[in-house]
Chains A and B, each alone.
Chain A
């Protein structure tokens, strides 16, 4: 069973950047599969609770949204806490996604083409937060080389969707920190080869006994001058999450 790490809303980001092993590679060269597996392995937590901030930058406009999120297994809940959106909630249960707007007291199921739109105007799409499978199950990765990124030596991996699997991005290119096994950069491509999104990690920290990406920037490459920063202020692994957190009743 897959365990998202920080919050369900951004499970994909975590998927992209999860740290692999805590131990640097000491002997021999790792294969692409081993590198990704280390990342994937680190994705699996029983549960997590996080306080995070999302900064949506569109040209000169800057919108800050704060949230508390809970994740457990396939389920996730995000509660927005900034004044303007206070009480707005997202609930993910398995493959289904609901949104609750307190002003309208309205529960909306998000499906179809709505999933491709940005969450609250950000560069993350709803679809991005729905992808929950292990990368290794969805993509066939190849080691494309080694490069330095942001002053850190990295493995460069290229993943292509495995035939017959339902994946949003046909191809992805990842820069993975050679020592800390954190994805530092991820490029996501359409089947046509067009670059759709670029995600970069700007801050990695050691939390409990693992390296963890705390700050990241997502850019939607189909839109100009726009990016979304995602900052994890506080994160707790395996917290006690009250029963009934991930229910529709709890959304209202």
Chain B
């Protein structure tokens, strides 16, 4: 008990040193928490981007299509029959569903051609799953059955694509596609709306056209690539997917249901986060080295004190105990300080956010995020990083304390 008291007293006696060392730990903890919150926010946001602008929460497709989806084939499509849609609409937490037909295309403005993904949609159903209303920078979404003059189809494209093609609302484009029989076909388009969303794919690689126009041009009858479903809560998606898949077996045994977390884009985003975690680990390592350094120096500086303690009859292990306890105390102090700062910092981050669009455009680097990134709360990080600070302080003090305590008291008191 005496030793514990001594250690705590030491903390108070060497106030400056305690504060400086603790503030280093606090800074490491704080910095980690901020970054962690930001990375978490980025992950969350890239998931939201995929869910909100591309994929919805669930996708009903045939297994064969899902395997080859990258190529956007016109084979293994599904027919959204009433029985199928009735089952889909009955899933728990259902908000909306939309059938879409995706296809490879070349878009031409008469001068240049660019490869794009064409997406045939029914605007009403589509808005129930993916709401683009707030993202129109020009014009608006076309209406069901809408045709422009001379039978030209309306189309909505992304802002970046519009800029690349140097077109705007009211301009005409030609979409060159290959139909189900591999025969070229063209779709004449008039741009009725230009959108700018947080999703780079939507901004530069997608052309939305009415579903019936796409179906006719691609000669696929009333078939679609997939049916997207939006639920009330994205966390329920994996469970609901299983349930729906079971129910759909009765309608069409070839159908499969995939939830948003099974999407390749999500997996890729997740893999990128792993890379970020690695960077975080390196940051922690650097923080650990700083802490170790400070603790070692503090111990060495007090060599005489250790010598005196030993001369007064303390055993080696008792000296080590005192020092380790003292150092752990500094770790706890620093940890608490860091967590408090972290709470404030993350709190600010979640409310204010960080506007990346003003700094750099992240899209070319493959981060599907545009605009402001908000932090997220991650209680687990608070606990782990606090524990990290304390444990590193504890372990890093053992060796120098042992080294000093093991010395002959006379040499420790008078090292020269």
Does B181 sit within 8 A of A, measured CB to CB? yes
Verify A169–B183 contact, CB threshold 8 A: yes
Question: How distant is B115 from chain A, measured CB to nearest CB, in Å?
Answer: 6
What total of chain A residues lie within 8 Å of the partner, measured CB to CB?
Answer: 22
Residues of chain B within 8 A (CB-CB) of A225 are 111
Report whether A113 and B104 are in contact in the complex, using a CB–CB cutoff of 8 Å.
yes
Measured between beta carbons, the chain A residues less than 8 angstroms from B182 are: 166-168
Interface residues of A in 181-206 (CB under 8 A from B): 190-192, 194, 196
- Check: B108 CB closer than 8 A to any chain A CB: yes
For B, the interface residue count at a CB cutoff of 8 angstroms equals 25
In the bound assembly, the distance between CA atoms of A116 and B104 in angstroms comes to 10
Indicate if A62 sits at the interface (CB-CB under 8 A): no
Cβ contacts under 8 Å, B407 to chain A: none
Given A117-B106, A224-B110, A196:B183 Cβ within 8 A = no
* A228 CB to nearest B CB, Å: 14
Complex interface: chain B residues within 8 A of A252 (CB): none
A61 located at the interface, meaning its Cβ lies under 8 Å from any Cβ of chain B in the complex:
no
Contacts of B138 in A (CB 8 A): none
For residues 362 through 385 of chain B, which have their beta carbon under 8 Å from a beta carbon of chain A?
none
Q: How many A-B residue pairs have CB under 8 A?
A: 71
Distance in Å from the Cβ of A244 to the closest Cβ of chain B?
Answer: 31
Best-surrounded residue of B106, B178, B188, B219 (most CB of chain A within 10 A): B178
A194 touches B186 (CB 8 A): yes
* A117-B115, A192-B187, A192-B217 given; 18 more Cβ-contact pairs under 8 Å: A112-B104, A113-B106, A113-B115, A116-B106, A116-B178, A117-B106, A117-B113, A161-B181, A168-B178, A169-B184, A170-B183, A170-B184, A191-B183, A192-B188, A194-B174, A222-B186, A223-B112, A225-B111
Give the interface of A toward B (CB within 8 A): 111-113, 116-117, 161, 164-170, 190-192, 194, 196, 222-225
A-B contact pairs, 19 of them (CB 8 A): A113-B72, A116-B176, A117-B106, A117-B115, A164-B181, A166-B183, A167-B181, A170-B184, A190-B176, A190-B183, A190-B185, A196-B176, A196-B184, A222-B108, A222-B110, A222-B174, A223-B111, A224-B110, A225-B111
Chain B residues in the interface with A (C-beta under 8 A): 71-72, 104-106, 108, 110-113, 115, 174, 176, 178-179, 181-188, 217, 219
